[in-house]
Amino acid sequence: MTRFALTLEFDGTPFQGLQRQKHGPSVQQSVEDAAKAATGKTVTLFSAGRTDAGVHALAMRSHFDVESDLTPYRMMGALNAHLRPDPVAVTHCEIVPDDWHARFSCIGRSYVYRIANRRAPLTLERNRAWRVAQVLDHEAMHRAAQSLVGQHDFTTFRSAQCQSQSPVKSLDRLDVERQGDHVLIHAAARSFLHHQVRSMVGCLALVGMGRWQEQRVGEALAARDRQELGLNAPPHGLYFVAAEYAASA
List pLDDT tens digits, range 59-87.
999 999 999 999 999 999 999 999 999 99
Q: What is the CATH number of the domain that holds 75?
A: 3.30.70.580
Is residue 213 one of the residues assigned to a domain?
yes
Of 55, 75, 104, which marks where a domain is finished?
104
Among 52, 137, 153, 225, the active-site one is: 52
Do the beta carbons of residue 146 and residue 215 sit within 8 Å? no
DSSP letter, residue 36: H
Question: pTM to 2 decimals?
Answer: 0.95
- List helix spans (H) across the chain: 27-39, 72-83, 138-145, 196-209, 215-223
Residues 172 and 227 in one domain: yes
- Indicate whether 249 pLDDT > 50: no
Residues 205 and 135 in one domain: yes
Is residue 23 one of the residues assigned to a domain?
yes
Of 58, 79, 104, which marks where a domain is finished?
104
Residues 96 and 167 in one domain: no
Question: What is the rounded average pLDDT of the residues 6-13?
Answer: 98
Residues 116 and 96 in one domain: no
Nearest CA to 243 out of 65, 58, 18 is that of: 58
Residues 68 and 189 in one domain: no
Mean pLDDT check: name the lowest of 25-34, 63-72, 74-83, 240-249.
Answer: 240-249
How far apart (Å, rounded) are the C-alpha atoms in residues 164 and 50? 12
pLDDT at 163: 75
Nearest CA to 115 out of 95, 100, 98, 135 is that of: 135
Nearest CA to 101 out of 47, 59, 55 is that of: 47
Give the angle 96-191-225 at the CA atoms, nearest 5°.
160
Question: What is the rounded average pLDDT of the residues 124-141?
Answer: 97
Say if residue 223 is exposed, middle or buried (CB neighbours under 10 Å; 0-12, 13-18, 19+).
middle
Residues 33 and 146 in one domain: no
State how many domains the chain has.
2
How far apart (Å, rounded) are the C-alpha atoms in residues 12 and 114? 14
Is residue 30 one of the residues assigned to a domain?
yes
List pLDDT tens digits, range 191-219.
999 999 999 999 999 999 999 999 999 99
Of 50, 79, 104, which marks where a domain is finished?
104
Its domain, for residue 147, covers 108-244
Say if residue 143 is exposed, middle or buried (CB neighbours under 10 Å; 0-12, 13-18, 19+).
middle
Please state, for a pLDDT cut of 70, what percent of the chain lies above it.
99
- Whether 52 sits among the annotated catalytic residues: the reply is yes
pLDDT at 165: 83
Is residue 249 one of the residues assigned to a domain?
no
pLDDT at 248: 53
pLDDT band with cut points at 50, 70 and 90 for residue 12? very high
List pLDDT tens digits, range 157-195.
998 888 788 999 999 999 999 999 999 999 999 999 999
